Amino acid sequence: MKKGILSAMAACAGAAAGAGAVAYQKAKRQDYDFKVIKKNEAILKMLNQWLKLKQEGRSLEGYFKENNYKKIAIYGLSYAGERLLDELKGTETEVLYAIDQNADRMFAEVEVVSAEEALAPVDVIVVTAISYFDEIEEKLSERVDCPVVSLEDIVYEL
């Protein structure tokens, strides 16, 4: 009889522990999903503003000219980074290189380096990974002597 009670108690304890683990994993997943949604929302809003600028006949190159940024680097070569690279083709603003955490797997029209590699001097580094700007700026500011700006700030400043 004691064995039966102990077995039942062990089963209940195991079930409770399992339920707790499942709840923890579900909460962790929901937190991750929420962060991804917020990141994508910020990118969508920025790209929408950028499109409005294009429809008004304005270009991001104006920002670089106003600030006398002739040679730049782009941090992040996902969608926004690729579009910035495309927009600056054939302009007076030269993209010397790109920085990406997946530099060893990236193929682009410019050299792609990791943030840990030696960075050639540029007038400014534009961060297209806008949701992680603060962390990226902090990391880059320790290694470079130029301004590090967010693409989001550029788009909304114009």
Count of CB atoms situated within 10 Å of the CB of 3: 7
pLDDT number for residue 45: 96
pLDDT number for residue 93: 98
Residues 142 and 158: their CA atoms lie apart, in Å, by 28
What are the pLDDT digits (tens) for 103-147?
A: 888 888 999 999 988 789 999 999 999 999 999 999 999 999 999
pLDDT number for residue 19: 62
Give the chain's residues under pLDDT 50. Answer: none
Asked if 64 and 90 touch (Cβ cutoff 8 Å), the reply is no
